[in-house]
Amino acid sequence: MKQIAIVGLGIIGGSFAKALANRLPGRYKVSAIDINQDTLDEAKKLGFIEKGETTNKSILQNADIVIIALYPNLVTEFVVTHQEDFKEGALIVETSGIKKSIMQELLPLIPEQVEFIFGHPMAGRESQGFAFADDRVFLHANYVITPSDKNKAASIEFFSQLLKDLGFGRITISSPKTHDLMIAYTSQLTHLIAAALINSDSTGQNTVEFIGDSFRELTRIAKMNEKLWSELMLNNREPLLEVIESFEKQLANLKQAILTNDKEALEQEFIHSTQKRLALESADQAHEFAKERGK
């Protein structure tokens, strides 16, 4: 039986472990490396992994597929430290939320005997750790693969199929540069907006009495892992600053229409936003499945 090693049993690694156990029972032997022994014990007790090690002893040597789900800044060190330990012909999956910087750093260091697949599961939870890992977040979710020139087409195809078997919806092939720009817009900017919105509460009132679901939804992701998000954003500054400015301009347009009492301009902006949202919904098969993802 082929073996899969998961490195880091947080939200992403933990969700992979749970998805493998729940959706592909018996297909792989799954092990995990995590610095927290309690997490490993828990994952083993619940039947999500067969074996756990706090530092690699024999897991990497036996793994046909390694899924690395560490903080981005820890990935390179992990690979360099363990370059002799990877099994000949292993597929190493790297999952961090930015791609250009990590690929530039890692590509020259990849051990000869393995193949790396860089990519990003567009799925998560606002809470951290194995207890909050949940394979439902993968259901119909997007996954972006950013191939390098060292990838074999067959490996990308094999891994794409595995992702679909684990519940993912759309698998997109992208350049790292495009990925990073898009993620700056769809994910990093949205987190900045949520933080700015909740931090801007200067009303001095008991805000909770005056909220509806729009405020609840727009601030859900204001609860975030500050270390991870700072790292992701500061490794992606150029595209992030670009999309922040683009957003600021649009908000300034709306503000100007309000300032000048320009009803027609305001209505036009809202007609435009409505059209864009409707277009997004009709293109987004995952839209209908938010509840299945527990959102």
Q: Is 267 among the residues that bind a copy of itself (CB under 8 A)?
A: yes
Q: Is 145 among the residues that bind a copy of itself (CB under 8 A)?
A: no
Q: Is 221 among the residues that bind a copy of itself (CB under 8 A)?
A: yes
Q: Is 53 among the residues that bind a copy of itself (CB under 8 A)?
A: no
Q: Is 15 among the residues that bind a copy of itself (CB under 8 A)?
A: no
The sign of the CA dihedral 84, 85, 91, 94 is negative
Q: Is 27 among the residues that bind a copy of itself (CB under 8 A)?
A: no
CA dist 3 and 29 (Å) reads 5
Please, which residue, 54 or 230, has the CB nearer to a copy of itself? 230
Q: Which of 2, 46, 280, 292 binds a copy of itself (CB under 8 A)?
A: 280
DSSP-assigned beta bridge partners for residue 6: 32, 67
Please, which residue, 65 or 184, has the CB nearer to a copy of itself? 184
The position carrying tokens 């008991």 is 206
Other beta carbons less than 10 A from residue 232's beta carbon: 24
Smallest gap from Cβ 145 to a copy of itself, in A, equals 11
CA dist 45 and 9 (Å) reads 14
Q: Which of 68, 144, 162, 163 binds a copy of itself (CB under 8 A)?
A: 144
CA dist 163 and 159 (Å) reads 6
Q: Is 263 among the residues that bind a copy of itself (CB under 8 A)?
A: yes
Please, which residue, 62 or 128, has the CB nearer to a copy of itself? 128
Copy the structure tokens of residue 45.
């007790």
Smallest gap from Cβ 38 to a copy of itself, in A, equals 23
The helix/strand/coil state of 46 is coil
Q: Is 74 among the residues that bind a copy of itself (CB under 8 A)?
A: no
CA dist 43 and 162 (Å) reads 21
Q: Is 213 among the residues that bind a copy of itself (CB under 8 A)?
A: yes
Q: Is 36 among the residues that bind a copy of itself (CB under 8 A)?
A: no
Q: Is 222 among the residues that bind a copy of itself (CB under 8 A)?
A: yes
Q: Which of 55, 58, 199, 292 binds a copy of itself (CB under 8 A)?
A: 199
- Reported as half-sphere exposure (CB side, CA atoms, 13 A), residue 215 has a value of 11
Span 89-108, contacts to a copy of itself by CB under 8 A: none
Q: Is 177 among the residues that bind a copy of itself (CB under 8 A)?
A: no
Q: Is 12 among the residues that bind a copy of itself (CB under 8 A)?
A: no
Other beta carbons less than 10 A from residue 141's beta carbon: 20
Q: Which of 107, 161, 223, 292 binds a copy of itself (CB under 8 A)?
A: 223
Taking a C-beta distance cutoff of 8 angstroms, is the pair 169, 121 a contact? no
Q: Is 140 among the residues that bind a copy of itself (CB under 8 A)?
A: no
Span 118-137, contacts to a copy of itself by CB under 8 A: 122-124, 137
Copy the structure tokens of residue 130.
């194995």
Buried b (16+ CB within 10 A) or exposed e, 3-40: bbbbbbbbbbbbbbbbbbbeeeeeebbbbbbbebeebb
